[in-house]
Amino acid sequence: MKLLSLITALLATLTTAHPVFDDLITPSTPLDYKRAPAASLRQVSNFGSNPSNVKMYIYVPDNLAASPPIIVAIHYCTGTAQAYYTNSPYARLADQKGFIVIYPESPYSGTCWDVSSRATLTHNGGGNSNSIANMVDYTLKTYNGDATKVFVTGSSSGAMMTNVMAATYPALFAAGIVYSGVPAGCFYSQAGGTNAWNSSCANGQVNGTPQVWAKVVRDMYPGYEGARPKMEIYHGSADTTLNANNYNETIKQWAGVLGFDYQKPDTTQDNVPQSGYTTYTWGERKLVGVYARGVGHSVPIRGSDDMEFFGL
């Protein structure tokens, strides 16, 4: 019950949003997402235990690497695996670099992800996170994947799930990139709801110390003492769907987990990676925050920069 008590305490102490760090930066020329890759997206129905009925789609490029890296790319609310495949750069980049892309698809009406139930917020708890982790295990075994190069990313609800995956399966992922999400556990439903909306969190009213947020993460996988993935967090200052204070809280969460002082980034770069964005780094880019001034929901995907962060 530690997770319940911690998140209940966070919800009970709604305070004024912490001021955002500074200004931000802007991306390079957008990738041409619409060019059809040579291979195709296909569904996998027999990937193993699927306790929450998440659909698995996979993109395996024709020029597959001998021991391919894997990216899990998680769609937004109202999205689908096909939509994220079409409108994100990862399949095109897979053609160039030989990695595999897994596109999970939400089983719920409205296709948001369950980031609210105790099941999904627990390692091997039987929720969406468990099903997605099993997709990764299947792909590693089937394609002789490189277990040291497994990554996760997503937009909006998929960004929320990215934080949840990094928290519940830290040994599985080397890095995560979050495009406009909320901290892991912030959408927790005290009523036990699956795929529940949390207005307090969405509106930026749930605030905690780095220590409390880190404990929320650790309680999702009790007893785990191993390495944690490096994280990159994008958020727009003009986000009216998931308030920009969620950027601060997410930075605080991963700074607490990784042992950094969130108020003292090692570097601060204005207008990086583009005009209006500010990039902050901690611990030789173990944690990166990119705050996009004037950008709404959600921050556009920066495929080339993602490849650099993932080391691909």
Token pair in block for residue 295: 């950008």
**Residue ranges of E strands in the chain:** 41-44, 55-59, 70-74, 100-105, 150-155, 175-179, 230-236, 267-270, 277-282, 287-292
- Residues forming beta bridges with residue 72, ordered by sequence position: 102, 152
CA 47 to chain centre: 22
SS3 258: helix
d(CA 102, CA 58): 5
Q: Which of 155, 156, 189, 237 is catalytic?
A: 156
d(CA 172, CA 224): 12
Specify the DSSP class assigned to residue 153. Answer: E
163 close to 181: Cβ distance less than 8 angstroms: yes
Residue 128's nearest CA partner among 75, 59, 91 is 75
239 close to 229: Cβ distance less than 8 angstroms: no
SS3 133: helix
104 close to 98: Cβ distance less than 8 angstroms: no
Residue carrying structure tokens 């880190």: 214
156 an active-site residue?
yes
Specify the DSSP class assigned to residue 24. Answer: B
Give catalytic residues, as residue numbers: 156
